[in-house]
Amino acid sequence: MLDGKLLIGGKWKTCDRKFDSLDPATGDVLGRACLAGVEEVTEAVKVAKLAQESWNKIDISERAEIVARIGDELLKKSQEIKKLITIEMGRPLFESNIEVSKTSEIVKYFANEGKKFLEGDEVPINHDNFSFTRYEPVGVVGIIKPWNYPLLLPLWSIAPALISGNTVVFKPSDLTPFVGIEIGKICQDAGVPDGVINVVTGDGFTGKSLVSSDIDMISFTGSSDTGKNIMKNSADKLHRISLELGGSDAFIVFKDTDIEGAINGAVWGRFMNCGQVCISPKRIFVEDDIADSFIEGFVRKTMELVIGNGSDPDTDIGPMVSKEQRENLELQVEDAVRKGASIKCGGKRPLSLQNGYFYEPAVLTGVTYEMSVMNEEVFGPVAVISAFENMDEAIALANMTKYGLGASVWTKDQDIAMRMSSQLKCGMVWVNEICTLHPQCPWGGIKHSGMGKDLSRYGIREFVSIKHVNINMGTDKTRSWWFPYGKYG
């Protein structure tokens, strides 16, 4: 049984109150982690403030070297980390392995490129006068993250935050505290100095305490509702905030596409990580002429997926992360069926896997915008498919949502691709591609999917303020626009 402590000022501290972390494939308790309250959070922010002064004095190249070692440590410990991810949140080992290597790639990308992205600009004004800009760290960054990519999402913020001279108080999800603790250990092994990274495990109240603390910035990934709460609670202090929130991405298939490729992409995109992915195609729209054959192929491939414990190498679909997440999904499917949707396959708890939070991947058709599956994020293995007549209708249907994270378009026609990419109201568009990310490309949504960017040169700049410096080296004793104004009378 794992015993979780808090990392504050370089020391692992225990606490009075604890909570259980469960293996979602069995319901067994994996370990007990600390439930940090206001006192522990306040202490973590205080030590992070002290540490920030010296961390920011270290040359950026040296900070980047330390961060690069986090990337090395991840690869060194990848076997243990991937197993921990799988037993704590249920995903197949194959996917956990990809998460570890992708995280290392992103950390190293920021370590290699961060310095270049934070070089200021020179701005000539006139003969005597010039300006320049300087990127300065925000201070202490509170990083609050969800459970669905418990290693990647924290480190894609921690790495740029540290390189740019900030210190961090990190709050992992209450469903994956031990992966969060592992991140603290890896940072220590990489040589991140005491107090520069602090880990406070806990629940929503712990996160709220961090938002209400003397922090300088909150970098948040999670649901839109929590994002809105964070924005409200940050208002009084005017913290800098970056919000990566939920999505209901459209997957739009035109009749000229390679239908088999589109089906393969849609089935993988919708069901990998048990459908618990922010950019998963949550509303699939198919051009009328090919809708029936698309649905037939999609259902057939869905029924071939192997459901089981993520630790079994043959498993395609692990359990959902928790009892509550599965119950939410079941309510959404019930709502759709009550309002007229048809279930083409799946949509129930598998009889052979009664202990964990398993759910047979489902395909729904006959859906309308009266149903929660079309209006709210569906965060589990349920695919929702409907048809469209022409491009204008596809655009209208895809944009008929409060979310604006991503979208995926399937066509061989470049004109269609370009028109769709300009008219879809979201932060990211993939064409003939689905659920990919590249460290060098910006990540983030609009509308209820959030604000700010992760990854790329834009991502690191979320963690800095731009200081403008203007210098006049001339010898003039006055300016034509200074007092006294009467001189022009």
Binding flag, residue 379, ligand NAD (CB under 6 A): yes
* Rounded least distance, CB 55 to ligand NAD, Å: 24
Would you say 308 or 459 has its CB closer to ligand NAD?
459
Using the rule CB under 6 A, give the single segment among 26-34, 142-150, 289-297, 391-399 that binds ligand NAD: 142-150
Binding flag, residue 96, ligand NAD (CB under 6 A): no
3-state secondary structure the chain: CEECCEEECCEEECCCCEEEEECCCCCCEEEEEECCCHHHHHHHHHHHHHHHHHHHHCCHHHHHHHHHHHHHHHHHCHHHHHHHHHHHHCCCHHHHHHHHHHHHHHHHHHHHHHHHHCCCCEEECCCCEEEEEEEEECCEEEEECCCCCCCHHHHHHHHHHHHCCCEEEEECCCCCHHHHHHHHHHHHHHCCCCCCEEECCCCHHHHHHHHCCCCCEEEEECCHHHHHHHHHHHCCCCCEEEEECCCCEEEEECCCCCHHHHHHHHHHHHHHHHHCCCCCEEEEEEEHHHHHHHHHHHHHHHHCCCECCCCCCCCCECCCCCHHHHHHHHHHHHHHHHCCCEEEECCCCCCCCCCCCCCCCEEEECCCCCCHHHHCCCCCCEEEEEEECCHHHHHHHHHCCCEECEEEEECCCHHHHHHHHHHCCCCEEEECCCCCCCCCCCECCEECCEECCECHHHHHHCCEEEEEEEEECCCCCCCCCCCCHHHHC
* Rounded least distance, CB 272 to ligand NAD, Å: 13
* Rounded least distance, CB 57 to ligand NAD, Å: 31
Binding flag, residue 246, ligand NAD (CB under 6 A): yes
Q: Pick from 26, 112, 223, 399: which binds ligand NAD (CB under 6 A)?
A: 223
Using the rule CB under 6 A, give the single segment among 118-126, 167-175, 249-257, 303-311 that binds ligand NAD: 167-175
Using the rule CB under 6 A, give the single segment among 93-101, 225-233, 298-306, 355-363 that binds ligand NAD: 225-233
Q: Pick from 146, 319, 381, 404: which binds ligand NAD (CB under 6 A)?
A: 146
Would you say 220 or 294 has its CB closer to ligand NAD?
220
Binding flag, residue 405, ligand NAD (CB under 6 A): yes
Q: Pick from 24, 247, 269, 347: which binds ligand NAD (CB under 6 A)?
A: 247
* Rounded least distance, CB 449 to ligand NAD, Å: 6
The active-site residue out of 15, 274, 278, 426 is 278
Cα–Cα–Cα angle for 385, 429, 450, nearest 5°? Answer: 95
Would you say 211 or 329 has its CB closer to ligand NAD?
211
Count of residues touching ligand NAD (by CB under 6 A): 30
Binding flag, residue 377, ligand NAD (CB under 6 A): yes
Q: What are phi and psi of 166, to 5 degrees?
A: -90, 160
* Rounded least distance, CB 458 to ligand NAD, Å: 14
Q: Verify whether residue 244 is a known catalytic residue.
A: yes
Distance between CA atoms of 61 and 65, rounded to whole angstroms? 6
Name the residue type at position 198: N
Would you say 47 or 435 has its CB closer to ligand NAD?
435
Show contacts with ligand NAD in window 172-211 (CB under 6 A): 173-174, 203-204, 207-208, 211
Binding flag, residue 239, ligand NAD (CB under 6 A): no
Tokens standing for residue 23: 């293996």
Q: Pick from 26, 56, 133, 229: which binds ligand NAD (CB under 6 A)?
A: 229
Q: Pick from 52, 198, 226, 248: which binds ligand NAD (CB under 6 A)?
A: 226
The active-site residue out of 99, 244, 360, 377 is 244
Tokens standing for residue 338: 């009550």
Using the rule CB under 6 A, give the single segment among 83-91, 219-227, 351-359, 383-391 that binds ligand NAD: 219-227
Distance between CA atoms of 446 and 197, rounded to whole angstroms? 29
* Rounded least distance, CB 76 to ligand NAD, Å: 26
Q: Which residue is nearest to ligand NAD (CB)?
A: 207
* Rounded least distance, CB 475 to ligand NAD, Å: 54
Q: Which of 215, 145, 142, 143 is nearest to 174 (CA)?
A: 145
* Rounded least distance, CB 162 to ligand NAD, Å: 20
Q: Verify whether residue 187 is a known catalytic residue.
A: no
Cα 114 to chain centroid, rounded: 20
Binding flag, residue 278, ligand NAD (CB under 6 A): yes
Cβ-contact 133, 481 below 8 angstroms: no
Using the rule CB under 6 A, give the single segment among 20-28, 238-246, 283-291, 335-343 that binds ligand NAD: 238-246
Using the rule CB under 6 A, give the single segment among 218-226, 327-335, 343-351, 474-482 that binds ligand NAD: 218-226
Distance between CA atoms of 367 and 288, rounded to whole angstroms? 15
Which residues contact ligand NAD by CB under 6 A? 144-148, 153, 171, 173-174, 203-204, 207-208, 211, 221-223, 226, 229-230, 244-247, 278, 377, 379, 405, 445, 450
Catalytic residue annotation = 244, 278
